[in-house]
Amino acid sequence: MSRRRADSQGSLGPDDEVMPYSDDETDDELDETSEEEADEPPGAPQPPGEIRPEIGWKVKANDRAYHQLPEFQKKVFLCIKKSRYSGNAIKTYKYNVITFLPLNLYEQFKRVANIYFLFLLILQVIPDISTLPWYTTLIPLVVVLGITAIKDLVDDLARHRMDKEINNRKCEVMLNGRFQEAKWMDIQVGDVVRMKKDEFTPADVLLLSSSNPNSLCYVETAELDGETNLKFKLGLRVTDEGLQEERQLAEFNALIQCEEPNNRLDKFVGAMTWNGEQYPLELDNMLLRGCKIRNTEYSHGLVIFAGADTKIMKNGGKTRFKRTNIDILMNYTVYIIFGLLILVSAGLAIGHAFWYKDIGAKAWYLYDGKSQTSDYRGFLSFWGYIIVLNTMVPISLYVSVEMIRLGQSKFINWDLQMYFSEKDTPAKARTTTLNEQLGQVEYIFSDKTGTLTQNIMQFKKCTIAGRSYGEPTSAEGVALDRGKQVDWSWNRWADKKFPFVDHFLVAHVRSKKDKDASEFFKLLSLCHTVMVDDKDGELMYQAASPDEGALVTAARNFGFVFLSRTQDTVTIREMDKEVTYGMLALLDFNSDRKRMSIILKFPDGRIRLYCKGADTVIYQRLSPNSNHKESTQTALDTFANETLRTLCLCYKDISTEEYEVWSRKHKEAQVALFNREEALDRVYEEIESNLMLIGATAIEDKLQDGVPETISKLAKAGIKIWVLTGDKKETAENIGFSCQLLDDDMQIHYGEDVNEKLGRRQAMRRTEPQTSRQSKKKHAEPFFSGSGRNALIITGGWLNEILYEKKKKRRRLRLRRLGKQRTPTGPQDGQPMDEWEKEMRQIDFVDMACECESVICCRVTPKQKANVVSLVKKYKKAVTLSIGDGANDVNMIKTADIGVGISGQEGMQAVMSSDYAFAQFRYLQRLLLVHGRWSYIRMCKFLRFFFFKNFAYTLVHFWYSFFNGYSSQVAYEDWFITLYNLLYSSLPVLLVGLLDQDVNDRLSLKFPKLYLPGQQGKLFNYEKFFISLFHGIFASLIIFFIPYGAFQQTMGQDGEAPSDYQSFAVVTASALIFIVNLQISLDTSFWTFVNCFAVLGSIAIYFGVMFDLHSAGIHVIFPSVFTFTGAASNALRQPYLWLIIILTVGITLLPVICIQFLHKTIWPSVADKIYRNRKKYEKELEEEEKKKQPPAFQRGRRSRRSGYAFSHSQGYGSLISTGQSIRRRPQGRGRPPATIKEHPRREAENT
């Protein structure tokens, strides 16, 4: 049904059933039939080259040398050329044996910090500047680069394995005149391949012939779109007749000319030239890479596009380098530290220049034999302090972050609660760089089919002659509290796994007393387009949609078994007898009719029409004498309320005379040369009237387990979920109610409403003065007034209309450039007046959508999915997550900040492009609310402490410089500087980053509000960074000045003064180690044996290594490297110095303890409150689990919306009515009867 556009001049609105390809269209669509030229004079001159671009892709069958000709070469680099035809190997890895070391080092040195440390290393080699030995920087740098390189190598080896697995799949290829087994990677454009049942298509292939009649081939497209229902493809008649034998295929030498490789999954245009004749090609003749051959023993095809040129790979979108918000913030904080470092070093260098001029140059005992000016000495001092204070930017920061991320990824992989045992599929973190971003997600964009749903339909309930069935009931009709599954052993044809709990309906049908019940299931077994295979006595149904399969299976279980069909008969078994009905006409389903009908001739000569369809169209066509309309409508409302998908069933008896009159009209409409579809619709409408209602079916589109609960919890965590699907509007809306994204209290807005509201806002903006509108980026007024809850359901066609991405955009712009069309100057034009207006329109749409609680975009293309995600990223600056399971979700997955693939299905394309993968949607709540939240908390705590400990450690040099003439003298021993971040203080903070948790996983899931601080970025931001900076400054002041003051006038027990430089260095270093390890102990929320061991072990390692390095033995071996001989033993045997250490530690930590106490008692966070009452909450959880029973789905009030949602697609009816899927191939493969003709698909549907 067409609608008016809100902003166009009498043109029709977009078709809700069509998936629009806005800028994805190929150039051949922009031809002279464009509607913009409708008002041009007939003789208007056409610009040259505008008629249709030349089709430039040529493929010669069985001729590999042809594709290497010079005309098909393209320049790669300078004079190096290669074929424009891609090989069939795919490559997702980054490195090989030769490129690993240079490429990896190049990527690592793109980090500013690594270049900085390399620069420091070079400075330390210069004798005049160096204040520290070169190894203090070289050792940490090598360790960091080595660990990162190993991690990158492990990740890339996994990609190598995945690529190798796909590239080494086997397929039969025509080589040297016969079929030989070859790897996918060795297949080339122009090869003839043989594909067998249950094999994947290795490339985009032109179907030549198959084992089925008329070269029909059934495919499953789960890897492309996640759908498991069968689709059909047809070979050309000429190739079906002439290319069955191996010899014929070997001699096949056709030339294919077609469109260039592109990403349109719904379109293919080309022509085949063979034996001097030309034959048109279209999408129905193509098997796309990723399709799985089903119910077809073998099929032959010609490779048209291979590898990167295939449509599935073209739809993948660009691989984007993803970085977390923490990463970006961390880089900015490092830049701030760089700035501080340069300022501090410059200030100290200036101080040194003045000090040397006033004091140093005059002190004879400081003379070093160099005649350098004070300014030059100040310049050298600047670089010296750059080296001394370089630990303000810790080199170990990045490697520690990578180790923490690696550990978090392993925890996700090892989580047994995210393991799906039915398919032996664990969760998999395919990246190690985004874990903390999982704790900051604000928007989730989800596919529907295969992601929220299982794509499994189950016949749940029905209403027959005004009575509803499907609730747990005994055979006598007594309602039961708990249902027992029906025993189908009485029916040998039944599907024993078919779940049904109403024993009364089964008994009722078996008794044969109720004619309405028998007629109900007879209709289900006759009115459909299902095809059947009988394999060893087992009936295998091939349905165009899961809905059809569920209905025919239900009829089969109730004793009405669909057995077989020919072009003009349908045979079923009615309980114990086999009956064949003559099929006079099949009125196929389409999205406008929303119904299908079949006209049958009964064995006794009666003619009857059976019809099934949406209640909205069936009720309009019911006879006034039809019974049970009100009671059936009540049942339909109940079914819709339970989010079941409904279809109404009805019939009509037709007299022979009436049928003959109608049949003549039908034949005339079939051969109409113009407006054939409209003529057929009028004829169908005529016969589908005065129908008699039998009842209605209710099918459950089975959601994955736990989907409603997961969506509810994520919503409580402040996460908005948008569903982006290629499915129909009715189906998507029905699933929205099923998974509780939508409810009856919501005001649902559709494309027309949205377009109207945005048009009004745009008109208001156009009336504003030019100066004020440019400055006003957003309109403050909300789109929806009042406190009601809103939801948005919009189709791809309306999305293009709203965002100014109309189908003929490029054509219109081209005409505008040529002067044929004026630039729009007023609001009557449907296009934006300028780029600013287009941007404002996009902002308005995003703002409106974000005001809604739920958003569902249906009939959207893969590119539109990605565009919606990028709009929210761009204008909301929010962290986005996309989740899907098919190749049509890959672009969306790559565009979002985090991509999640549903694994365990047939299709693995989404998983290969994802950052995280698991088998069920319900695991998303654990990924975000547990692993994501913990990762974010741990990383924030790690960064805050890491900056603190390095400021506390480094700034001691700064205070010391005031007492050493700003001479770049270090306050610690060289080896302490080298090992501080590697050994003495790294392990406790690393373990906090890996293991810490404020509350356990069960409480994290029970209280989703705990997730909010991550979304708001409260735990690490510029404020937290500067708090760590000032905390470090305070700690460094205490660490330096308390020992310095205590050392002023000191006498040891042995009468010696321990106030020498080396003793001072030992005391400050010891106090620092105690402070940082006890500080991390105060910050640790979750204590384990490992944490305790790390803290005590770090202190023990410090003292053990220090005493070894200060021993006389090592000094004898390396006298110039180890110069603190006996310093530790001499200093630490003085009780007075131990008292200084204790005093320093106490004064530093006491304010921290007080602040933490006040925060937890006076200003506790939500996590603090939950932790305080954790035992009570855990007890409540245990009681809830004991009482937990699966709740029946109920709603607060009855719904009056239609429950119609039928995923049937048009086209299967033509296969049956023309006999293409049924007629057997002639034995001799000779010329077929003249009645079989080659038609384009659109004609064949109505022939």
Question: What's the token pair of residue 288?
Answer: 């796309």
Q: What is the DSSP string of 283-349?
A: GGGEE-TT-EEES-SEEEEEEEE-GGGSHHHHTT-PPPPP--HHHHHHHHHHHHHHHHHHHHHHHHH
DSSP percent split of the chain into helix, strand, coil, nearest 5: 45, 15, 35
pTM of the entire predicted model:
0.81
Residues with Cβ within 8 Å of 127's Cβ and at least 6 positions away in sequence, in order, are none
Strand-strand pairing, 854-858 and 790-795:
parallel
Kindly report the number of other CB atoms within 10 A of residue 431's CB atom.
Answer: 15
Beta pairing, strands 898-902 & 880-884: parallel
Q: Give the pairing type, strands 467-469 and 916-918.
A: unpaired
Instruction: Read off the DSSP letter of residue 1204.
Output: B
Distance of alpha carbon 1061 from alpha carbon 330, whole angstroms:
36
CA distance 476 to 507: 8
Output phi, psi for 1012, to 5 deg: -60, -40
Rg (CA), the chain: 38
Q: Which residues pair with 901 in a beta bridge?
A: 884, 917
Instruction: Please give the pLDDT value at position 1200.
Output: 52
Query: Given this model, what pLDDT does residue 1202 score?
Result: 63
- Separation between Cα atoms, residue 1060 and residue 1075, nearest integer Å: 23
Write out the two tokens for 854. 């739920």
Strands 692-703 and 286-287 come out as unpaired
State which amino acid sits at residue 760: R
Nearest to 1167 by CA among 994, 940, 989, 991: 940
Conformation bin of residue 836: beta by default, left when phi > 0, alpha when psi is -120 to 50: alpha
CA-closest candidate to residue 645, choices 703, 685, 686, 725? 703
Q: Tell me how far CA of residue 555 lies from CA of 281, 515, 516, 646, 899, in angstroms.
A: 39, 15, 14, 16, 42
Pairing relationship of beta strands 607-613 and 595-601 according to DSSP bridges: antiparallel
For residue 155, which phi and psi values (nearest 5 degrees)?
Answer: -60, -45
Report d(CA 468, CA 502) in Å as an integer.
10
Terminal CA-CA length for the chain: 24
Sign of the CA dihedral with 1243 first, then 1245, 1246, and 1247 last: positive
**What are phi and psi for residue 213, nearest 5 degrees?**
-55, 140
Q: Which residue has the tokens 């042809």?
A: 66
Q: Which amino acid does the sequence have at 33?
A: T
Burial environment of residue 1021 by CB neighbours within 10 A (0 to 12, 13 to 18, 19 or more): middle
Residues 694-719: pLDDT tens digits?
999 999 888 888 899 999 999 999 99
- Nearest CA to 798 out of 845, 863, 746, 742 is that of 845
Q: Specify whether 1060 is catalytic.
A: no
**Cβ atoms < 10 Å from Cβ of 250:** 17
Q: For 73, left (φ over 0), alpha (ψ -120 to 50), or beta?
A: beta
Number of H helices, E strands in the chain: 43, 35
One-letter amino acid of 446:
S
Which one, of 289, 273, 293, lies nearest residue 281 by Cα?
Answer: 273
Which entry of 204, 240, 447, 974 is annotated as an active-site residue?
Answer: 447
Residue 661, SS3?
helix
CA distances from 940 to 326, 933, 997, 1083, 1206 (A): 8, 11, 12, 12, 49
Alpha-carbon dihedral 102, 105, 111, 117, rounded to 10 degrees: -130
Closest CA to 717 of 879, 892, 600, 584: 879
Angle, to 10 degrees, between the axis of helix 135-167 and the axis of helix 112-125?
140
Report the greatest alpha carbon distance in the chain: 131
CB neighbour list of residue 317: distance below 8 Å, 6 or more residues apart: 862, 866, 890, 891, 894, 895
Give long-range contacts, CB 8 A cutoff, 24+ apart: 1234-1239. Answer: 1236/237, 1237/237, 1238/236, 1238/237, 1238/238, 1238/279
User: Measured on CA atoms in the order 24, 887, 714, 1021, is the torsion positive or negative?
Assistant: negative
User: From the CB of residue 620, how many other CB atoms can be counted at a distance below 10 Å?
Assistant: 10
Are the C-beta atoms of 457 and 702 separated by less than 8 Å? yes
Helix H, strand E, coil C: the string for 98-127 is CCHHHHHHHHHCCCHHHHHHHHHHHHHHCC
1227 Cβ contact partners less than 8 Å away, ≥ 6 residues apart: none
Q: Sheet holding 467-469: strands in order across?
A: 467-469, 453-464, 692-703, 645-654, 607-613, 595-601, 577-587, 569-574, 560-565
Strand order from edge to edge, sheet including 286-287: 178-183, 170-175, 192-196, 298-305, 204-210, 286-287
Are residues 450 and 227 in contact, defined by beta-carbon separation less than 8 angstroms? yes
Contacts of 940 (CB under 8 A, 6+ apart): 326, 436, 1019, 1020, 1024
Residues of the chain with pLDDT under 70: 1-55, 76-79, 131, 225-228, 316-320, 769-780, 805-834, 904-908, 1049-1059, 1188-1247
Question: What is d(CA 735, CA 816) in angstroms, rounded to the nearest whole number?
Answer: 43
Burial class (CB in 10 A: 0-12, 13-18, 19+), 564: middle
- Distance from CA of residue 545 to its chain's centroid? 25
Q: Which helix (H) or strand (E) holds 1199?
A: none
The DSSP letter of residue 479 is B
CA distances from 537 to 532, 533, 552 (A): 12, 9, 17
Q: Which spans in 361-498 are helix H?
A: 374-388, 396-414
3-state secondary structure 230-283: EEEEECCHHHHHHCCCHHHHHCCCCEEEECCCCCCCCCCEEEEEECCEEEEEEH
